[in-house]
Structure 1
Amino acid sequence: MEFRQQIEELLNTFLVEREDLYLIDLKISTADAITVILDGDNGVSLQDCLDASRAIENNMDREEHDFSLQVMSAGLSEPLVTPRQFRKNIGRELEIILTDSKEIEGELIKVEDDKITLIMKYRKPKEVGKGKVDVVEERELPYTEIKKALVAVKF
């Protein structure tokens, strides 16, 4: 069995047992450095990362195949990629780069299998006269139009 396939099977077995966790990314370098990025419906604890790491390490033979392993949670710097991740962040402000490179910000209010809905609040110039008006716009975005979506960190 191919090395990557072994790792994927071990991870999938672990994730079947832990339905609250899901895989965001699996990277294996040419030097067999494995990086696993997990997320969870209720976040990811250090213990969750340790359990995932053990599920892989305890079932692989280092004598047969030497590797390094790093298991981590998806942090704030990681983009949202799955509908499940978006659902977890309903009510939060998102910064989104669209496929046409435009950047928008808005509060995530709805998540569907093929699109998300944001409430965007901004100011725009009045159509007549000087000054600006406040605008509140609801916008649906298909996942196909989203290049990158991050949770906005506000202090």
Structure 2
Amino acid sequence: MEFRKRIEELLNEFLENREDLFLIDLKISAGDDVTVILDGDHGVSLQDCLDASRAIEFNMDREEHDFSLQVMSAGLSEPLAIPRQYQKNIGREIEVLLNDSSKIEGELARVDDEKITLILRYRKPKEIGKGKVDVEEEKEIPYTEIKKSLVIIKF
């Protein structure tokens, strides 16, 4: 069986038993360095990474095919890649870079298979008189318009 297909098969078997985890990326370099990036509905623990690594490592024969394996969680600085990642971040502030290079920041309110909905909060000048008023509006953004999304980390 082809090396990549065997790795994918073992990873899929592991993820079938761990429905709270999901694959973000699988990279295999020309030198057979395998990198698996996982995320989870409730985060990814070190034990989760060890379990995934063992599920692959213990079922491969290094005598037959030598490789290196690295299993990691998607970090906070990693962009959101799939709807399930957006779903787990509902209620958080995110920054969205659109295909036209404009940026939008807002609270992630809803997610579906085609789009995300942000709540935008800002101040704008009053229409009559001096001063400003607080404005809150919702903006729907289709995935096709998103270049990159990052969770804004606040301390």
Q: Same fold (TM over 0.5)?
A: yes
Paired residue for 2:56? 56
**Could you tell me how far apart the structure 2 residues matched to 1:149 and 1:12 are?**
26
Instruction: Tell me the number of residue pairs that the alignment of Structure 1 and Structure 2 aligns.
Output: 155
* 1:35 alignment counterpart: 35
Q: What TM-score, normalized by structure 1, do the two folds share?
A: 0.94
- Following superposition, the deviation at residue 136 of structure 1 comes to 1.5
Report the Cα offset of residue 128 of structure 1. Answer: 6.4
In 2: Cα distance, 1:127 partner to 1:11 partner: 58
In structure 2, what is the Cα distance between the partners aligned to 1:133 and 1:99?
30
- Following superposition, the deviation at residue 123 of structure 1 comes to 2.9
Q: 2:92 maps to what in 1?
A: 92
The runs of 5 or more residues in structure 1 that have no matched partner are none
In structure 2, the residue matched to 1:17 is 17
Q: Distance in 1 between matches of 2:127 and 2:70?
A: 55
Q: Secondary structure at the match of 1:39?
A: strand
Measured in 2, the distance between the counterparts of 1:152 and 1:124 equals 23
Secondary structure of the residue aligned to 1:86 is: helix
CA-atom RMSD in angstroms: 1.4
Structure 1 SS opposite 2:121: strand
The normalised TM-score by structure 2 is: 0.94
Gapped runs of 5+ residues in structure 2?
A: none
Equivalent position of 2:73 in the other structure: 73
Which segment drifts farther, 57-66 or 134-143? 134-143
Displacement of 1:33: 0.6
Cα distance between partner residues in 1 of 2:19 and 2:134: 43
Amino acid corresponding to residue 143 of structure 1 in structure 2: Y
> For residues 122 and 28 of structure 1, what CA distance do their matches in structure 2 show?
44
DSSP 3-state at the match of 1:62: coil
Instruction: State the distance in 2 between where 1:94 and 1:8 align.
Output: 31
Q: Distance in 2 between matches of 1:135 and 1:129?
A: 16
Q: Give distance in 2, aligned partners of 1:135 and 1:32.
A: 53
SS at match of 1:13: helix
> Secondary structure in 2 aligned to 1:26?
strand
Hey, what does 1:26 align to over in structure 2?
26
Give % identity. 77
- Per the alignment, residue 117 of structure 1 pairs with 117
Query: After superposition, what is the alpha-carbon deviation per residue over 1:54-85, rounded to whole angstroms, capped at 9, x for unaligned?
Result: 00000111111111100001110111111111
Counterpart residue number, 1:140: 140
Q: Corresponding residue for 1:152?
A: 152
